[in-house]
Structure 1
Amino acid sequence: MNKKTNDTREKILTTAEQLIYQNGIHAMGMDLLVKTSGVARKSIYRHFANKEDVASAALCERDERWMEWFRTESDKGKTPQERILNMFSVLKSWFESDGFRGCAFINTAGEVGDPDDPVRQIAKMHKQKLLDYALELSGQLNNERPEILARQLLILLEGAITMAYVMGDSSAADNAQEMAKLMLEQTSPGN
């Protein structure tokens, strides 16, 4: 692909991601994508077969970018415990950012009824990556049950995201972090 082709594809995906995050998949029609991106419909169809392909590609791009950001920021802690607790501080910074509208993957998965739909599969893949990261950190602790801790951390992360969005309460990250501290204390050796 040449640079112009890559630039056009990126423009389509960036615009689609913004529209999906703002309004949902069903509200992101091809007419709105053409109007908002400034890319001709014919050019969009040169890159993607249909709206579903655009949405799937945009969500995959968001997954890569979000996970890289989340891991990079969370990994600024020195110890596994600090990195685990830092996940909630990172979430809080996201909750307090302009334009926070919850989790794009939870939001879009909620729009699709079929569990085999590509959008639901992308959402599942994203949550699995988040679980895998929590498991990676939990496995670095001297802990006999890293899988259980990782799943509990995922529930705290997801609960904080949902509460921050639905209730408009960024302190949900602080509350989840406090619960994570208690869990870490209970799972540390000697307890």
Structure 2
Amino acid sequence: MATSTVEPGVRAHIVDVADQLFYARGIQSVGMDEIRTGAGVSLKKLYAAFPGKEQLIAAVLSGRHDLWERGVHGAVEAATTPRDKLLAVYDFLESWFGDDTFRGCGFINAFGELGATSPAVAEIAREHKDSFQRFVQELTAEVVTDPERAEELAAQLALLAEGAQTTAAIAGTTAPAAHARRAASTLIDAATGLSRA
């Protein structure tokens, strides 16, 4: 008897295959049939797991969000001082940009492809970016005591990270992470009234 429930492992495998294909080639250029073939599942099982492509895209982006969170939070937690925790964000970016599979931010890519036509994808991308902004703001609050200055610094540091991601994807180099880190260091020092050699 057929069931509409797909095993979590099979569902996760489909998401992984779709993520690899979407990230490497773009969402619109990859069809559900190609994902079915890559995942080695029947079309019936694929559509039982994901009734439409938008649900699959949402699952892929959810996985990307979790991967990002683990990476950036792990780098920050490994740092010792509040200032170093802020700068660890850029160290994480440099490591990520050096990965052979790096093709830019999956959320920026998805928004660029589908943001104008898919409100759901646009909302997922916005929430991901808002989540990162809130995280950076929590970190800046540990460095800058004035709430307004901390909020302004957080916006600047997040913007540096976002710009580095886009620039690194286009340039194909890790250098934007180092440039962003140096700029972040200058901004942090200006916000805290420090001067470093």
TM-score, normalised via structure 2 length = 0.90
- Secondary structure of 2:114's counterpart equals coil
The answer to whether the aligner puts 1:187 opposite 2:184 as a matched pair is: no
Task: Tell me, in whole angstroms, the C-alpha distance in 2 between the residues paired with 1:138 and 1:55.
Answer: 32
Cα drift, residue 29 of structure 1: 0.7
The answer to whether the aligner puts 1:146 opposite 2:150 as a matched pair is: yes
Contact residue 6 and residue 49 of structure 2 kept, 8 A: no
What CA RMSD, in Å, does the superposition of the two structures yield over aligned residues?
A: 1.9
- 4+ runs deviating over 2 angstroms: 113-116
- Tell me what 2:139 maps to: 137
Q: What stretches of structure 1 of length at least 5 have no aligned partner?
A: none
Please list the CA deviations of residues 160-187 of structure 1 after superposition, one character each: whole Å capped at 9, or x if unmatched: 1111111122111111111111111111
- Tell me what 2:125 maps to: 123
Please list the CA deviations of residues 56-88 of structure 1 after superposition, one character each: whole Å capped at 9, or x if unmatched: 111111111211221112221111100111111
Contact residue 115 and residue 121 of structure 2 kept, 8 A: no
TM-score, normalised via structure 1 length = 0.93
Task: Tell me, in whole angstroms, the C-alpha distance in 2 between the residues paired with 1:142 and 1:91.
Answer: 23
Task: Tell me, in whole angstroms, the C-alpha distance in 1 between the residues paired with 2:145 and 2:183.
Answer: 17
The answer to whether the aligner puts 1:167 opposite 2:137 as a matched pair is: no
Cα drift, residue 139 of structure 1: 0.8
Cα drift, residue 142 of structure 1: 3.2
The answer to whether the aligner puts 1:81 opposite 2:71 as a matched pair is: no
Length, aligned pairs only: 190
Provide the identity percentage: 33
Task: Tell me, in whole angstroms, the C-alpha distance in 2 between the residues paired with 1:131 and 1:115.
Answer: 25
Task: Tell me, in whole angstroms, the C-alpha distance in 2 between the residues paired with 1:189 and 1:23.
Answer: 46
Q: What stretches of structure 2 of length at least 5 have no aligned partner?
A: none
- Tell me what 2:65 maps to: 63
- Tell me what 2:34 maps to: 32
- Tell me what 1:43 maps to: 45
Q: Tell me the amino acid that sits aligned with residue 188 of structure 2.
A: L
Task: Tell me, in whole angstroms, the C-alpha distance in 2 between the residues paired with 1:117 and 1:22.
Answer: 23
Task: Tell me, in whole angstroms, the C-alpha distance in 2 between the residues paired with 1:21 and 1:42.
Answer: 24
